[in-house]
Amino acid sequence: MKRLLKWLLYGIGGLIAVLLLTYIFFFFKWQVVSSRNRSLLGPEVSTLTVAGYTFRDLNKNGKLDGYEDSRLPTEQRVENLLSQMTLDEKAGLLFITMIPLGTDGAVSDIPGFSNPFSLIMETPSTMLVRKKMNHFNFVQSLEPDQMLTWHNGIQKMAERTRLGIPVTLASDPRHVATNKPGIGIKTPGFSNWCGPLGFAAIGDTTLMREFGDIARQEYRAMGIRLALSPQIDLATEPRWARFNGTFGEDATLTASLTKAFILGFQGDSIGTQSVACMAKHFPGGGAQKDGEDSHFAAGRAQAFPGRNFPYHLIPYEQGAFPAHVAQIMPNYSIPVGQTSEDVAAAFNKDLITGLLRKKYHFDGVVCTDWAVVNGIPYFKEASAWGVENLTPEQRVEKILNAGCDMFGGEAAPELVISLVKRGKISEDRINTSVRRVLRDKFRLGLFDQPYLTKADQRILGNPVFIRKGREAQRRSLVLLKNENLLPLKKRVKLYIQGFDETVVKQFAEVVARPEEADYVLLKLNTPYTPRHGNLMDLFIHQGRLDFPADEKEKLLALMKIKPTITILSVDRPMVIPELNAQSRAVIADFDCEDRIVLELIMGRFKPTGKLPFEFPSSVQSVEQQKEDLPYDSSHPLYAFGAGLSYR
């Protein structure tokens, strides 16, 4: 036994030594690569004074070029810069992907374990200097002062490239009170609001635009100038994993909230104070066959058994386009039978050129969803549905021929360069996309003032914004059932599951056993079917909506001990007829803070929210409903628009 333990320790020690030596090897390799990349950078930008005006000499030639002159019309500046760009620079402009942030705010090329993506993505200097890229998104959260340092550092690096083209920084949503990948990234200094379904439960376009305006200010304070939102798919398929990022299943409601959201972020027109929006996922992603998510091959197809494809376009027709949305992201999925070729939207010329460009006259940027060309190692395969047999270069060619401009989640401008040099794609075609991309950079004012200041960040932590976010959370909660139980009296005894005990103790006495309680307070998350594939499976919950039998029996047994208040933390509708029947009160929660839920339970405000989708009554009704139709679940447990209040 001792000998076995001895060899086990030797083995562990040897493995640690190998890992340490490997890291040391790569550490020095990364250092060398970083040094070589940064040696290619030019001097910092100086300023020019002409006719009493000051301009930035971005190409460092000592004279005022058209693209540097803020007095000129945007289109004139675009054409001047385009005429100076090499093919390499044009190709780099068409790619956007994730970039790691140094935990101390430094622009570091050394990957860190605090951000696993940094271990599988290109380094910042490789993308910006070698590959000429200047669009990035990030999934981390830094303190404001660290973000200011990092942001200005990456802009300074961009300034020292040949033409000084500034970086456009993009982000997924960051204002949801709970930290859920794809829905909300908790960010220091930002106000906390309900999730998109919560805004649909409120149904107030004035509030939606006010949120957009507040979020715009907070985004700008962190240097974010492109919102990878709103998600305006219609949630007509309850099993779909992206359900909780939508405004529900009603097209008219979604359209009205979409328009207000975009106007809040962009304003009536895009300017230096705007944050551009990228609405997604054209032409609508909610009609997923059997509810399977299109990040994965099993969800490659959309189904339209109700012949309701036009319904899913309404949020664009009545929302995004009237609000002059800056950018559009196509869907991963194949809209089976709806176009002349069964390929995913980014590869589909009928959808991008025929429908989006020609019918709707959209001339803004169209950017693919993330990783449809190469995939992301260990995280997800390329979502190249319908064109799996094509090489990455052929996929890029098909995407450009379809009418898209940018490649999301990719860092492969060499593929565009190769296509042009081999005569597969004309440089004129590339120029068309470059014009669209540059137009947004100029309209946002990035060429004239890309840097953050402490003054820009003073808006963070604004008490008015924080108060408005909490008020939105209150208005979003939906009281579905109340058998003369709520609101509770003060200082009751509660047995809790799923709540932060320190928060609950501010409202009631928390007891260790349900038998000691006056009431049981449960928070239930939507069930799902665990998948065993790549890392993306950890973030995408799909499949079943009902609780496994053993878990359900445990919950029912607990509910029988004392009167139960059930909080449904909804990311997809749940199938809970027995649990609902056993509950004395039921509340639908759309990513609100525990404190807000307790305030409602204790009667500090009255519920006003209305359910923006149906709760199905059985698994069979889910399976029998049609993926593309709203409100078609037979005998729903709770219908669209359900919602009670206190007397």
Residues belonging to the active site: 369
- Which of 544, 635, 467, 455 lies closest to 241 in space, CA to CA? 544
Which residue's entry shows tokens 């001895």? 6
Which residue's entry shows tokens 């529900």? 248
Instruction: State phi, psi for 184 to the nearest 5 degrees.
Output: -160, 135
> Residue 222, CB half-sphere, CA atoms under 13 Å: how many?
29
CA-to-CA dists, residue 584 to 46, 208, 345, 579, angstroms: 69, 32, 46, 10
CA separation for the pair 60, 64 (Å, rounded): 9
C-alpha distance across the termini of the chain, in Å: 72
Q: Which two tokens stand for residue 557?
A: 């047994």
DSSP-assigned letter for residue 515: G
- 171: helix, coil or strand? strand
Dump the DSSP string for 467-491. Answer: HHHHHHHHHH-EEEEESS-PSPPTT
CA-to-CA dists, residue 525 to 522, 558, 567, 590, 641, angstroms: 10, 17, 9, 11, 21
For the chain, percent helix, then strand, then coil, each to nearest 5? 40, 15, 45
Ordered strands of the 509-510 beta sheet: 478-482, 585-589, 564-569, 519-525, 493-497, 509-510
CA-to-CA dists, residue 8 to 4, 18, 41, 328, 430, angstroms: 6, 15, 50, 55, 59
CA separation for the pair 64, 85 (Å, rounded): 16
- Which of 397, 429, 444 lies closest to 135 in space, CA to CA? 444
Q: What does the H/E/C string look like for 194-216?
A: CCHHHHHHHCCHHHHHHHHHHHH
- Which of 303, 374, 361, 358 lies closest to 333 in space, CA to CA? 303
- H helices of 340-499, where? 349, 392-402, 413-421, 427-443, 463-476
Do β-strands 407-408 and 365-366 pair in parallel, antiparallel, or remain unpaired?
unpaired
- Which of 374, 376, 357 lies closest to 366 in space, CA to CA? 357
CA separation for the pair 81, 72 (Å, rounded): 12
Do β-strands 301-302 and 564-569 pair in parallel, antiparallel, or remain unpaired?
unpaired
Q: Which two tokens stand for residue 228?
A: 């990878």
Ordered strands of the 226-227 beta sheet: 365-366, 327-330, 276-282, 226-227, 168-171, 135-137, 95-98, 407-408
CA-to-CA dists, residue 232 to 144, 281, 351, 543, 588, angstroms: 30, 7, 17, 21, 21
Find the length of the chain: 647
- Please give the helix or strand (H or E) that residue 501 lies within, else none: helix 501-504
